[in-house]
Structure formats: structure tokens, C-alpha cells
Amino acid sequence: MTSSLFYIYASSPFSLIIKKEYLNVSEKLALNRNRLSFLTKNLLPSNKIFLDDLFIDKGINKYISEDINEDISEDINEDISEDINEDISGYIGKFIDRFIY
């Protein structure tokens, strides 16, 4: 059975790498409370965490989805405002041209 991995990069507040199968119950509870510093015996050198996607807790999911949504909405807003500015300046240019000529 293959396990899908989820990556959280160092730009997040977390900077560990964790495999689900290494965790016992108390470690899983601590992870769910975002207390990640307890896992020194299982750390691998990296600037990211990877977790089995079935084990990502709601807080981490929320953090990731907020980041993704912010990035997407920034891109969409930028595209829309560029389009609107182009349209407005095009209309203004046509309007002025009518009166000048």
C-alpha cells in the first residue's frame, strides 16, 4: 500500500520531517496539539514536514488552505485589477478620442 505524502515547507511555523508510522499514540496527540519539538529521535535533516495525508490534523489543514487561498485570491485580484485598469483606460482613451477628433 502506497502512502501519499503531504509537504509543509519551512515558510510555515513547522520545520520538522515526520513519518506517521514512527509515531505512537502520545506522540500523535502531541502532534495534533502542534507540539512538534518532542520528536527529536525521529527527525531527518530537512526544512519540511511530511505526514500521511490521512493524519494531517485540522489545524494544519486550515493553515495550509488559508495560505493557498490567500495566494490564489492575490493572483486573481491582481489579474482582475489589471484587466479592469486596461478596460477603463481603453474606454477613457476612446471617449477622449471622440471629443478631440
Contact residues for 30 (Cβ-Cβ < 8 A; gap 6+): 36, 38
CA distances from 91 to 9, 21, 43 (A): 44, 61, 59
Mean of per-residue pLDDT scores for the chain: 52
> For residue 79, what pLDDT band results from cuts at 50, 70 and 90?
low
The pTM of this model reads 0.21
DSSP assignment of 2-13 equals ---EEEE-TTSS
> For residue 3, what pLDDT band results from cuts at 50, 70 and 90?
very low
Answer yes or no: is pLDDT of 16 > 50: no
> For residue 4, what pLDDT band results from cuts at 50, 70 and 90?
very low
